[in-house]
Structure 1
Amino acid sequence: MLRGIRGATTVERNEELEITQATEELLREMIKANDVKASDVAFVLISATDDLTAAFPAKALRNIEGWTYVPVMCMREIPVPHSLPRCIRVMMTVNTTKRQEEIRHIYLRESVQLRPDLSLTGKEKL
């Protein structure tokens, strides 16, 4: 079954290192919480708000061993007035036998406010 795993995080500054580190932290949490293997991933979509221009967040995926061939794409988040600033969102599409309610969506830092009903990290939900 094909399932989507959602995740989001925020950064304090529009700096390359901060963007890639925060994105890598988020991706690793999503992978760990859902026991994801790179070979089971169809693709990963990563969006960033308009105020993040210093780096492609998708670059972070290349820091994770074994994920070289996973298709990944960055895009702009819709610039809705009063939306959460400096936010990076991830949609990881995976083949899994898990039921929808077993998927652990990860929201870190200020992104917790996006989905308070799903905002516990993988460690707290497991």
Structure 2
Amino acid sequence: MIRGVRGATTVSTNTEEEIVFATEVLLSKLIELNRIEPDSVASVFISTTEDVTAAFPAKALRKFEGWTYVPVMCMREIPVLNSLKMCIRVMMHVNTNQLQNEINHVYLNNAKVLRPDLDNSLAL
């Protein structure tokens, strides 16, 4: 069964260093909390708000050993009026036997406001 594993974070500045670092922190928490192995991942979508332009956040995933062949795509979120700024969102499509309510979603920094009902970032 393929399940979606969600997460999001924000950055305070539009720099390559901060974008890659914030994404790396988010991905490592998602991977650890859900015990995700690269071979179980069908694909990863990473989106950014239109004000995050200094780097592809997918660069962060390539820092993880064994994740070289996992398909990753970056895209831009639709610019909804009054939406959260400087935001990076992740959707991993993972083959797992876990039930939907057993998936640990992670929301960090200012992104905690997006889904406080699903945020499992404190589980670490």
TM-score class, shorter: over 0.9
Q: Partner of 1:118: helix, strand, or coil?
A: coil
For residue 110 of structure 1, report the CA deviation from its aligned partner. Answer: 0.4
CA distances 1:51-72 after superposition (whole Å, capped 9, x unpaired): 0110001111001111000000
For the aligned residues, what is the CA RMSD?
0.9
Partner of 2:19: 19
2-side partners of 1:108 and 1:62: how far apart? 21
Partner of 1:53: 53
Q: Partner of 2:110: helix, strand, or coil?
A: helix
For residue 118 of structure 1, report the CA deviation from its aligned partner. Answer: 1.3
Partner of 1:42: 42
Unaligned runs of 5+ in 2: none
Q: TM-score, normalised by structure 1?
A: 0.96
Q: Does the Cα contact within 8 Å between 2:11 and 2:18 map onto a contact in 1?
A: yes
Partner of 1:80: 80
Q: Does the Cα contact within 8 Å between 2:104 and 2:119 map onto a contact in 1?
A: no
Partner of 1:125: 123
Identical pairs, percent? 61
CA distances 1:18-76 after superposition (whole Å, capped 9, x unpaired): 00000010000000000000000000000000001100011110011110000000000
Aligned pairs, number = 124
Partner of 1:10: 10
Q: TM-score, normalised by structure 2?
A: 0.97
2-side partners of 1:111 and 1:103: how far apart? 18
**Corresponding letter in the other structure for 2:74:** C
**Do residues 116 (structure 1) and 112 (structure 2) align?**
no
1-side partners of 2:120 and 2:103: how far apart? 12
